Chain A
Amino acid sequence: GEDVEQSLFLSVREGDSSVINCTYTDSSSTYLYWYKQEPGAGLQLLTYIFSNMDMKQDQRLTVLLNKKDKHLSLRIADTQTGDSAIYFCAEVPGNTGKLIFGQGTTLQVKP
């Protein structure tokens, strides 16, 4: 089946690290994605990871993938107030081209 689950809310202090977790169900997903949505805006691709990788680092972002448990996480180092947004993880089952999104995690960054 196709299902992606995320926690709904995370609050951190500015300068701390944020970790957003996600579980997915479709083992045929070759790529897994993290998108960011700011108020009134569309979706912006933050980063992605190929399914045969365990980790990917991109500046302040670190993606960890546990393929056995179908668990994906996004770590944001030195979180800033500008990082406040909704973060979605998404999978693309097989070669369908359709993104299956989680419910989104609202990240609140307190100064």
Chain B
Amino acid sequence: KAGVTQTPRYLIKTRGQQVTLSCSPISGHRSVSWYQQTPGQGLQFLFEYFSETQRNKGNFPGRFSGRQFSNSRSEMNVSTLELGDSALYLCASSLRVAGVGYNEQFFGPGTRLTVL
């Protein structure tokens, strides 16, 4: 079974631009979560999508948005890029059956975004 794939793997943008990152979950997984990893703040939750709906959201400004398509693939968008947005953006997919239960999240290799 193929793992979580993220494209592109590396990206360089300048301040003020916008960027779109893509994530393809493991086949059959309906939940996709996004995380930002920086040396200063560590790993922080951005948002989770399940069945095309945003289910949870982290403490990030409105410049960060996402969506999920009917095939469970997800994109996240960052508008008006700032230098501090430079980070590794990780996507994770899971089966995420509603209700309490063990829910392993499988991570992709990440997209390294550099903002100049």
A residues neighboring B (CB under 8 Å): 30-31, 35, 41-45, 48, 50, 88, 92, 95-104
The interface residues of chain A lying within 8 Å CB-to-CB of B103 are: 31, 92, 97
Separation in Å of the A93 CB from the closest CB of chain B?
A: 10
CB-CB nearest 5 A-B residue pairs: A101-B43, A42-B107, A43-B107, A98-B45, A42-B109
| Residues on A with beta carbons closer than 8 Å to the beta carbon of B102 | 31, 48, 50
Interface residues of B (CB under 8 A from A): 4, 31, 33, 35, 42-45, 48, 50, 55-56, 58, 90, 92, 94, 96, 99-110
Contact between A43 and B90 (Cβ–Cβ < 8 Å)? yes
Q: Is the interface of B mostly helix, strand, loop or mixed?
A: strand
Classify the secondary structure of A's interface with B.
Answer: loop
Query: Which residues of B are found within 8 Å of A92, using beta-carbon distances?
Result: 103
Contacts of A30 in B (CB 8 A): 100-101
11 A-B residue pairings within 8 Å (CB atoms)? A31-B102, A43-B90, A44-B107, A45-B105, A92-B103, A95-B100, A97-B94, A99-B35, A101-B44, A103-B42, A104-B42
Complex Cα spacing A97 to B32, Å: 10
**Inter-subunit contact B42/A99 (CB<8 Å):** no
Residues of A within 8 A of B110 (CB): 42
B107 touches A95 (CB 8 A): no
Report how far A62 CA is from B109 CA in the complex, Å.
Answer: 26
Distance between Cα atoms of A14 and B42 in the complex (Å): 27
Q: Which residue of A lies closest to B106 (CB)?
A: A45
Contacts A43-B107, A50-B102, A102-B42 known; 9 new A-B pairs at CB < 8 A: A31-B103, A48-B102, A88-B43, A95-B99, A96-B48, A98-B45, A99-B33, A100-B45, A101-B44
Cα distance A48–B31 in the bound complex, in angstroms: 19
Nearest opposing residue in chain A for B109, CB measure: A42
Residues on A with beta carbons closer than 8 Å to the beta carbon of B109: 41-42
Assembly CA distance A81 to B100 (angstroms): 37
A99-B56 in contact (CB<8A): no
B45 to chain A, nearest CB (A): 4
